[in-house]
Structure 1
Amino acid sequence: MKIIYKYITVISCISLLISCSKKYETEPINRITEDLVFDPVDKNADYAQQFLNGTYLLLPDWYNRIDGSFLDAGTDDALASKDGSSIDNFRNGRISANVLPDNTWSRNYSGIRRANLFLSKIDIVPAPADRKVQWKAEARFLRAYFYFELTKRWGGVPLLGDKVLSLSDQLNYKRNTLQECNTYILSELESIKSSLLPVAITDGDWGRANQGAAMALKARVLLYAASPLNNPGNDLQKWSLATQAAKDVINLNNYALATDFIASLNATRNSEFIFIREQALSQSVENNNGPVGYIVGAGATSPSQNLVDAFLTINGKTINENGSGYDSSNPYLNRDPRLDATIMYNGKMWLSRPVETFEGGQDKPGGNRIQTKTGYYLRKFMGKFENSTSYSNQGHHVILFRYAEILLNYAEALNESSGPVQEVYNSLIAIRKRAGIKAGGDNQYGLPSGASQSAMRSLIWNERRIELAFEEHRFWDLRRWKLAESVLNQPVKGVKITKKQDGSFTYSVFDAAPSVFDASKMYYNPIPYSEILTNPNMVQNPGWSF
């Protein structure tokens, strides 16, 4: 495989960890070898630990990572504000083996190779035995994570085991089946989760793999395996396994929903974080996505009217339900507080003035400037700058697992295996209560009593959509639920807002962009052409050329 050739050189193996060490400074870059990284006289194992830390850097990112866009801009939840962004290829159905905006094949196999190299060499280093045990478990966790990132995009992929490949090795690996890949991932996680990884992470090691992370990954893998895309016969045992895996995380009693939804997403650490990819404090999300009429704000993301309409009203009902209190002439009043925490809408206070996305407003000026295509901007992940005059540095960690997802995973799997039992309700109530939905006279937070399994399924799907928006779930959820062929063949909608002379507004929903999804092939991505070209044993996914 091309990726193996690309990463077998030792320079790439240590490119992420060259430090200020004099030992490295005195070696020409082209002579830095794995023997310098895994050094038998490095009594503190500094270089080996830096190598492992560098492997963490290959974990996924979220923020504007695909040509300046969130992955969600390839779904019905948003558009890229910039014309011609490569993320549009997902929406217009123009991806191919040569045109693949989210091509992480090389990145993930690089991480796998780094993990394998670390595991093969760490015993050379005179580090304390207990540290090496934990580091090995971390490397195995990372390797399992990288494999899952591959399988959710491509299905079955080649499993390399512990092999560290070199130029002299046979590189024409065949693809393993998805079931074989899942079995491998789950066996690795099962081996390390209980005795080899720490139960909790101390402040100095925040962001490192832990038992909760391994168990959360297991729960997500099993949820995907049980979903309609990968479980067409609806084997209830698969749903039961997913249910228990999520319940196991809950039963750790190490995690809880944070009380403040906005603050929790910018926190350095909190009770809801299970596993994060740490980032330096910055203003990057605000600068990239803030409305364009402010001193700083590139307005890169345009959330859709489709997503806005999915948010509940304050009493937990959908906007179309009887008794919801929704007012189409004042559409943002008395809504689920998560709408205010996720979307910049017309009239919302930001940096001490109301956002103006009406036609001709400061944030929708028209002309050739990049600006919202839908009448909305992204607010999620930003600090509390409603009454500020400028941005300050914020925590924009990539929250790879948080407790709200586990509750939603549990509710979904339990509903599918056992129906809408009380524990399903309890999970959704906990999430809605934290969001600020009113309890109502029945303390059901808008959830209907005696819901059918099908009705509860729809409620859970929508709850995931609004709770986890822009956290790279919607793209994969639509695929694993086999909903993409219906949802992603509908236009992405926006709103045209006109300001009247009396200062009030009219709202007109319009089709902002068409969408195309070919169900015959697009549930899995095409294997990159470079891999097909260099490996005669690499079989392309059904429906794709090359």
Structure 2
Amino acid sequence: MKKSFLPKTLGLLLGLSCLSSCKDFLNTLPESTIAPQTYYKTEAQLTAALMAVYSEMGNSDESTYSRFLSLEAPSANDEQLLRSNAAVAVSAYNFDPSYANLVNCWTDLYEGINRANALLENIDKSQASAAAKEQIRAEALFLRAYYYFILVGYWGDVPLKLSSTTSAQNVNISRTPAADVYAQIINDMTSAEAVLKNNTDWGNTGRISKTAAAGMLARVNLHAAGRLGDASKYTAARTWALKVMNSGLHALSSDYSQIFKNESADIYDLKECLWEVEFNGNGVGNVYREIERFGSTLGIPNNNETVGFMQGQYVATGVQFQRYGTGDLRRDWNIAPFTYTGQDATKAQIPYAATYVWGRYIAKWRRQYQTIAFAKNFGPTNWPLLRYSDVLLMFAEADNEVNGGPTTDSYLALNQVRRRGYGLPINTVSTVADTRAGQSKADFLTTLKDERARELAFEGLRKLDLLRWGTFLTVMKGMVPIITAQAPSASNSGIGYYGRAATLVPYNNVSQRDLLWPIPSTEISLNKSMTQNTGW
């Protein structure tokens, strides 16, 4: 029979033997045939169950961060778009509630929640040490909250289910107001943060750590402040960001591009990178199937598979390219400054003309830095969920809100990010990189918004930022006259541009209903208590 998100838990433990999300943490596989009544006894079994919760972040069906949540879901916006826009896609704003990627994302997120609930309900049955149980409990609690954070961000009011499903009968659960969902997220993340270890204890960025939880709490509170219209949340956001900054555990990498080279090469930067979705292998003979596809979907097109196939499906907008100032090194790392002759990375690079600003390929992750054998579509590049520069920018934003304008601390946090972007010492005043002093609260927020776009370009944050600032539709519709006036009318697909008509598609299509995604049609048909979002 067909199932909604609710009755999937009974199959959870039966699938554990093929799941692993933190490749450097779990090296052994659990039993192949297990049941909830007899499982959860040892620390190894609890760990395996926890890894099954993590696993939904990098699900091999590409419905979460392997490709959908990293690329399609946060597009199109004013920084990036799918270059063709000929097919049905979330990024083209021409989909409906039955769209498969949407249905699968919803299902996988609730599967992760169900797995977390089952683990939380059974953890005290274990013979593991109290310390081990509390650590695993904290991680499961945080992950459940994080999955709800994705759900409430894209869908708004969603069913808040805090117990696992043990029967296929009770599938009629109504939606919970977003304010209550945010409250539960903050409560659970706060409880988890008090227990979690630092990432120096893990030696990797795949498991959630104390400072990563604090940084995510800053993000959640900023989103709650904007989406709920609750200005009191800015104080909490500032407090959580400051806690990360004062921990002494994190700092900006001196080389911006090295962050993303490391993510492809499986090198952990514990100071800059607080939390990442870990991917493993290339899908060839790999039992875990924790592989990503965003690396081959992005990039400067290359058809020579021996050096890393890349499709170049997503491109930067001219608006994004023009945001970078002269001397900002981030521009030519994030946005390709060249193409390859014959789309072959072993041949000569063809530099873009300086006047060509629309449709350049996104090049933030480049497969040449992967250190394993290349497979055409799949790779091991980690996806960034939280970086220290984001923490600094969140602090600057919250500090500006709390104090009614930018303080010395606001400027310092923002300018450190900017100085690194220009390749300058972050603690030295710079007339080149530093933002203008004496700004009003509104002006500083505008500066901050642009800086987030420059620093965090293509990391899946821009669209949700625009939504929490309440400017999404204004910005999207504002792209139409810009594209009409600036973007060339003719296509030049050889260098990434499919023409003005293709570029305009998402911006013409987007409407009020796109402030939230539709509840998947499968859920509407099976859950009789479910209502649909407006406009769908």
TM-score of the superposed pair, with normalisation by structure 1: 0.78
Deviation of the 1:56 alpha carbon: 0.6
Aligned length: 482
Answer whether contact 2:98 2:521 (CA < 8 A) is retained. Answer: yes
Aligned residue number for residue 420 of structure 1: 406
Aligned residue number for residue 214 of structure 2: 215
Deviation of the 1:512 alpha carbon: 4.7
Query: Does the residue aligned with 1:538 lie in a helix, a strand or coil?
Result: coil
Aligned residue number for residue 501 of structure 1: none
Gap change, CA 1:461 and 1:23, over 3 Å in 2: closer
Q: Distance between the aligned counterparts of 2:31 and 2:374, measured in 1?
A: 38
Q: Residues 56-455 of structure 1: matches in 2 within 5 Å? A: 56-59=54-57, 65-66=67-68, 69-82=71-84, 84-87=86-89, 89-91=90-92, 93-99=93-99, 101-103=101-103, 104-161=105-162, 163-167=163-167, 170-194=170-194, 196-203=195-202, 206-227=205-226, 229-231=227-229, 235-267=230-262, 268-270=267-269, 271-280=271-280, 287-292=296-301, 295-296=304-305, 297-314=310-327, 336-346=328-338, 353-355=348-350, 374-382=358-366, 396-418=381-403, 419-436=405-422, 443=431, 445-455=433-443
Answer whether contact 1:122 1:132 (CA < 8 A) is retained. Answer: yes
Deviation of the 1:306 alpha carbon: 2.0
Answer whether contact 1:158 1:173 (CA < 8 A) is retained. Answer: yes
| Aligned AA (1:522) | D
User: Which deviates more from structure 2 when the two are superposed, residues 240-249 or residues 476-485?
Assistant: 240-249
Query: Does the residue aligned with 1:59 lie in a helix, a strand or coil?
Result: helix
In the alignment, structure 1 residue 476 sits paired with structure 2 residue 485: no
Answer whether contact 1:262 1:383 (CA < 8 A) is retained. Answer: no
Gap change, CA 1:375 and 1:277, over 3 Å in 2: closer
Gap change, CA 1:280 and 1:497, over 3 Å in 2: farther
TM-score of the superposed pair, with normalisation by structure 2: 0.79
Deviations 1:454-501 (A, max 9, x none): 221111111111111111101111211121212212248486699xxx
| Aligned AA (1:221) | V
Deviation of the 1:237 alpha carbon: 2.3
Answer whether contact 2:70 2:294 (CA < 8 A) is retained. Answer: no
Deviation of the 1:239 alpha carbon: 2.1
Deviations 1:67-94 (A, max 9, x none): 995444422322324553443x443x32
Deviations 1:355-410 (A, max 9, x none): 3567xxxxxxxxxxxxx99541121022677xxxx989986212111111111111
Q: Distance between the aligned counterparts of 1:293 and 1:543, measured in 2?
A: 40
Q: Distance between the aligned counterparts of 1:224 and 1:184, measured in 2?
A: 14
Q: Distance between the aligned counterparts of 1:22 and 1:209, measured in 2?
A: 21
Answer whether contact 1:408 1:428 (CA < 8 A) is retained. Answer: yes
Gap change, CA 1:462 and 1:509, over 3 Å in 2: farther
Aligned residue number for residue 330 of structure 1: none
Answer whether contact 2:298 2:311 (CA < 8 A) is retained. Answer: yes
Aligned residue number for residue 285 of structure 2: none
RMSD: 3.7
Answer whether contact 2:330 2:455 (CA < 8 A) is retained. Answer: yes
Q: Distance between the aligned counterparts of 1:472 and 1:68, measured in 2?
A: 6
Answer whether contact 1:226 1:242 (CA < 8 A) is retained. Answer: no
Deviations 1:494-542 (A, max 9, x none): 86699xxxxxx9x999565211365532211111122222222212222
Answer whether contact 2:29 2:48 (CA < 8 A) is retained. Answer: no
Deviations 1:139-173 (A, max 9, x none): 10111111111110111222222x22222653321
| Aligned AA (1:220) | R
Answer whether contact 1:285 1:381 (CA < 8 A) is retained. Answer: no
Answer whether contact 2:301 2:340 (CA < 8 A) is retained. Answer: no
Deviation of the 1:280 alpha carbon: 2.2
User: Which deviates more from structure 2 when the two are superposed, residues 429-438 or residues 166-175?
Assistant: 166-175
Q: Distance between the aligned counterparts of 2:3 and 2:203, measured in 1?
A: 37
Q: Distance between the aligned counterparts of 1:217 and 1:169, measured in 2?
A: 35
Q: 2:46 aligned to 48, 62, 67, which one?
A: 48
Identity of aligned residues (%): 25
Q: Distance between the aligned counterparts of 1:269 and 1:520, measured in 2?
A: 41
Q: Distance between the aligned counterparts of 1:115 and 1:516, measured in 2?
A: 40
| Aligned AA (2:182) | N
Q: Distance between the aligned counterparts of 2:302 and 2:240, measured in 1?
A: 47
Q: 1:460 aligned to 425, 428, 448, which one?
A: 448
| Aligned AA (2:77) | T
Answer whether contact 1:266 1:397 (CA < 8 A) is retained. Answer: no
Deviations 1:58-114 (A, max 9, x none): 126876713995444422322324553443x443x3233223744422111111110
Q: Distance between the aligned counterparts of 1:22 and 1:220, measured in 2?
A: 34
User: Which deviates more from structure 2 when the two are superposed, residues 1-10 or residues 242-251?
Assistant: 1-10
Query: Does the residue aligned with 1:302 lie in a helix, a strand or coil?
Result: strand
Q: Distance between the aligned counterparts of 2:69 and 2:182, measured in 1?
A: 30
Gap change, CA 1:69 and 1:167, over 3 Å in 2: same
Aligned residue number for residue 508 of structure 2: 516
Gap change, CA 1:304 and 1:63, over 3 Å in 2: farther
Q: Distance between the aligned counterparts of 2:311 and 2:68, measured in 1?
A: 15
Deviation of the 1:46 alpha carbon: 2.2
Deviation of the 1:339 alpha carbon: 0.7
Q: Distance between the aligned counterparts of 2:359 and 2:510, measured in 1?
A: 28
Gaps of 5+ in 2: 20-26, 283-291
| Aligned AA (2:360) | Y
Q: Distance between the aligned counterparts of 2:130 and 2:429, measured in 1?
A: 58
Answer whether contact 2:74 2:91 (CA < 8 A) is retained. Answer: no
Deviation of the 1:47 alpha carbon: 2.9
Q: Distance between the aligned counterparts of 2:293 and 2:240, measured in 1?
A: 35
User: Which deviates more from structure 2 when the two are superposed, residues 345-354 or residues 464-473?
Assistant: 345-354
Gap change, CA 1:425 and 1:198, over 3 Å in 2: same
Is the helix fraction higher in 1 or 2?
2
Gaps of 5+ in 1: 315-335, 359-371, 499-504
